[in-house]
Amino acid sequence: MTVKDLCDKLSLTVLTCGDRLNRETNGCYIGDLLSWVMGRAREDAAWITVMGNINSVAVAKLADLSCIILCEKASLDEDARAQADANGIVILSGEDPAYELALKLYEASKS
């Protein structure tokens, strides 16, 4: 599944790097504590979080995550937006809480 498919199936809004949606995505990790994410999330996972700061962008980049999904319309800092665009990190935004997003992601990955 590509990030574009995920974006369509979960009705997400693209906040950064709209030209990078062809990246493959596989699985998901939910969490807001950065070291937990770095320790547990797998490569290519979509990361569902409320942390829209510049450090999240660094984590997504270093841990090879496929995208950041800000759940419940959590806000994205301006410097994080700029950093993500400069570093090729896709950030998406959704209205649903993390649990609903993960359920939809699971359904999407099966079809």
Partner 1 sequence: MQPIIKTYVIPGDDFTHAGEASGKVKAMLKQLGYDSDAVRRIAIAMYEAEINMVIHADGGKATVEIHPDRVELTLQDSGPGIEDVELAMQEGYSTAPDEVRALGFGAGMGLPNIKKYTDDMKIESIVGTGTKIYMLVKAGKTS
Q: What does the binding site for partner 1 look like in residue numbers (CB under 8 A)?
A: 32-36, 38-39, 43, 51, 53-56, 58-59, 61-64, 79, 87
C-alpha 110/C-alpha 1 separation (Å) is 10
Q: Is 57 exposed, middle or buried (0-12, 13-18, 19+ CB in 10 A)?
A: buried
Closer to ligand ATP by CB, 34 or 74: give it. Answer: 34
Cβ distance to ligand ATP smaller for residue 30 or 105: 30
Instruction: Tell the smallest beta-carbon distance from residue 75 to partner 1 (Å).
Output: 13
Q: Which does residue 111 bind out of ligand ATP, partner 1, none, counting CB within 5 to 8 angstroms by kind? A: none
Residue 21 near residue 3 (C-beta atoms within 8 A) = yes
Q: Which of 20, 21, 35, 89 binds ligand ATP (CB under 6 A)?
A: 35
DSSP calls for 41-57: PPTT-EEEES--SHHHH
Choose between 12 and 41: whose C-beta lies nearer to ligand ATP.
41
Contact call for residue 111 and ligand ATP (CB under 6 A): no
Q: Which residues bind ligand ATP (CB under 6 A)?
A: 34-35
